């Protein structure tokens, strides 16, 4: 009897001990973050997001039904809202913004080739945050194709699809933290400041192409390696900028287009004339210690860009963090479609 009572007491003590352990264990969902998570928080104070220009159509333009024989004039109106964080349009670093009509026989709608392409003639300011922290939406404008009519006679109703293609220059800025030390050996005392190995904090401005990951590794006391993962997160297609082309030749959604899935990359330290950067795939140097060049992303898939950053004078502080900016410069294309029913006139 005494042995049985002792066993029951032992089981009860073990059960109560397990309850106490679970109550004291940290809850992964209680909102607390590990030191590593805090170190990987985004930097730069950007609004973020994966959109550049938000493209839509004005309701009723075009209408869903028209008549043939030129009896129903109508408009096709494209709405452009700057949802990202780069200004576009005239007198900006991203001047090219235009729309064009495709998917139809131009002469059937009394159009010539020069009529189906229109450039945005006003600046579109980006979304921003004011000094109080309030987010201000980007500006909105329109590109309108007016006085469209369907000229031929039809014997029965036919359905067509009109596509509006939008092509615009855009760019993203990513801010990255990196670590420099006089001693390449890691120590727990320095971990609260930074470490030479592992993922680094990165923040991205709003736009469709981001630097989604940065990894650092030490090479020697003056040099580190940085691997930048560049990724397309938008719904359109990106191209390199070629100002030699006419608007009818820009942003063609064709795998044979030599400009498709290409962009320019600029990597610049915040501190000028302190570091030098050498990057695989980037063949040009920037004044102050940066590097830039054009890269091609196979079928738009993520790409890892490897760079080596050297502190030319050697670290004058034993351990510290510094910043660099990555600018991604490209041309972006997307389209929107509208079905339209053409009815025979009485």
**pLDDT tens per residue across span 156-199:** 899 999 999 999 999 999 999 999 988 777 777 888 899 999 99
Task: Supply the pLDDT for residue 11.
Answer: 53
Q: How far apart are CA 98 and CA 48, in angstroms?
A: 24
Q: What is the pLDDT of residue 34?
A: 46
Task: Give the integer Cα–Cα distance in Å for 195 and 215.
Answer: 11
pLDDT at 328 over 60: yes
List Cα–Cα distances, 90 to 96, 110, 114, 124, 235, in angstroms. 8, 30, 20, 9, 25
CA distances to 87, 127, 202, 296 from 169, rounded to whole Å, are 10, 16, 23, 17
Residue 10, SS3? helix
Whole-number percent of the chain with pLDDT over 90: 67
**Residue 130: pLDDT over 90:** no
pLDDT of residue 243: 76
Tens of pLDDT, residue by residue over 3-57, are 445 455 445 555 555 444 444 444 444 443 444 444 445 676 899 999 999 999 9
Dist. CA 273–CA 256, nearest whole Å = 41
The Cβ-side half-sphere exposure at 113, using a 13 Å CA radius, reads 4
pLDDT value of position 45: 83
Per-residue pLDDT band for 97 (boundaries 50, 70, 90) equals very high
What average pLDDT is seen over the chain? 87
Helix ranges restricted to H, the chain? 2-24, 35-39
Query: Domains (ranges, CATH) in the chain?
Result: 53-169+334-343 (2.60.40.10), 170-332 (2.60.40)
Can the peptide bond before residue 49 be classed as cis, meaning omega within 30 degrees of 0?
A: no
Per-residue pLDDT tens digits for 289-322: 999 999 999 999 999 999 999 998 766 788 899 9
Q: What is the pLDDT of residue 183?
A: 78
Please tell me the distance from the alpha carbon of residue 194 to that of residue 180, in angstroms, as a whole number. 8
pTM: 0.84
d(CA 232, CA 303): 9
Average pLDDT for residues 203-213, to the nearest whole number? Answer: 96
Per-residue model confidence (pLDDT) at position 137 = 93
According to the model, what pLDDT value does residue 342 have?
A: 95
Q: What is the reported pLDDT for 15?
A: 52
Q: Give the tens place of pLDDT for each residue, 131-157.
A: 777 889 999 999 999 999 999 998 889
Predicted pLDDT of residue 182? 83
Under 8 Å between Cβ of 142 and 122: no
Query: Per mean pLDDT, which range of 17-31, 82-96, 233-247 is the poorest?
Result: 17-31
What does each C-alpha distance from 126 to 47, 83, 93, 94, 123 come to in angstroms? Answer: 11, 7, 12, 12, 10
Residue 271 backbone phi and psi in degrees, to 5: -85, 115
CB-based burial label for 258 (10 Å; 0-12, 13-18, 19+): exposed
How many Cα atoms are found within 13 Å in the side-chain-facing hemisphere of 260? 16
- The percent of residues above 70 in pLDDT, for the chain, comes to 87
Residues in a beta bridge with 303? 230
Say what the pLDDT of residue 26 is. 43
């Amino acid at each position: 009897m005494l042995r049985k009572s002792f066993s029951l007491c032992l089981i009860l003590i073990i059960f109560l001990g397990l309850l106490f352990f679970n109550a004291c264990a940290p809850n992964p969902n209680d909102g607390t973050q590990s030191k590593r998570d805090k170190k990987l928080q985004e930097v730069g104070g950007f609004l973020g997001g994966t959109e550049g220009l938000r493209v839509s159509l004005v309701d009723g333009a075009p209408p869903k039904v028209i008549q043939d024989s030129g009896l129903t004039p109508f408009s096709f109106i494209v709405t452009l809202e700057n949802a990202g964080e780069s200004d576009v349009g005239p007198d900006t670093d991203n001047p090219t913004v235009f729309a064009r009509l495709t998917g139809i026989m131009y002469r059937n709608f009394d159009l010539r080739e020069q009529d189906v392409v229109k450039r945005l003639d006003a600046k579109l300011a980006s979304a921003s945050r004011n000094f109080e922290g309030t987010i201000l939406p980007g500006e909105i404008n329109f590109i309108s194709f007016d006085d469209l009519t369907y000229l031929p006679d039809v014997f029965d109703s036919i359905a067509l699809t009109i596509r509006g293609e939008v092509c615009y220059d855009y760019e993203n800025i990513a801010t990255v933290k990196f670590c420099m030390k006089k001693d390449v050996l890691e120590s727990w005392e320095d971990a609260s400041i930074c470490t030479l190995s592992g993922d680094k904090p990165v923040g991205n401005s709003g736009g469709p192409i981001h630097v989604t990951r940065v990894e650092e590794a030490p090479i020697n006391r003056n040099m580190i390696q940085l691997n930048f993962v560049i990724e397309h997160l938008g719904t359109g297609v990106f191209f390199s900028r070629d100002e030699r082309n006419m608007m009818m030749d820009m942003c063609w959604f064709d795998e044979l287009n030599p400009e498709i899935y290409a962009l320019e990359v600029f990597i610049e330290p915040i501190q000028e004339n302190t570091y030098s950067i050498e990057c695989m795939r980037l063949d040009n140097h920037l004044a102050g210690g940066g590097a830039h060049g054009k890269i091609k992303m196979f079928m738009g898939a993520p790409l890892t860009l490897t760079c080596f950053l050297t502190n030319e004078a050697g670290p004058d502080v034993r351990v510290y963090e510094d910043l660099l900016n990555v600018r991604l410069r490209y041309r972006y294309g997307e389209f929107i479609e509208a079905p339209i029913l053409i009815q025979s006139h009485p």
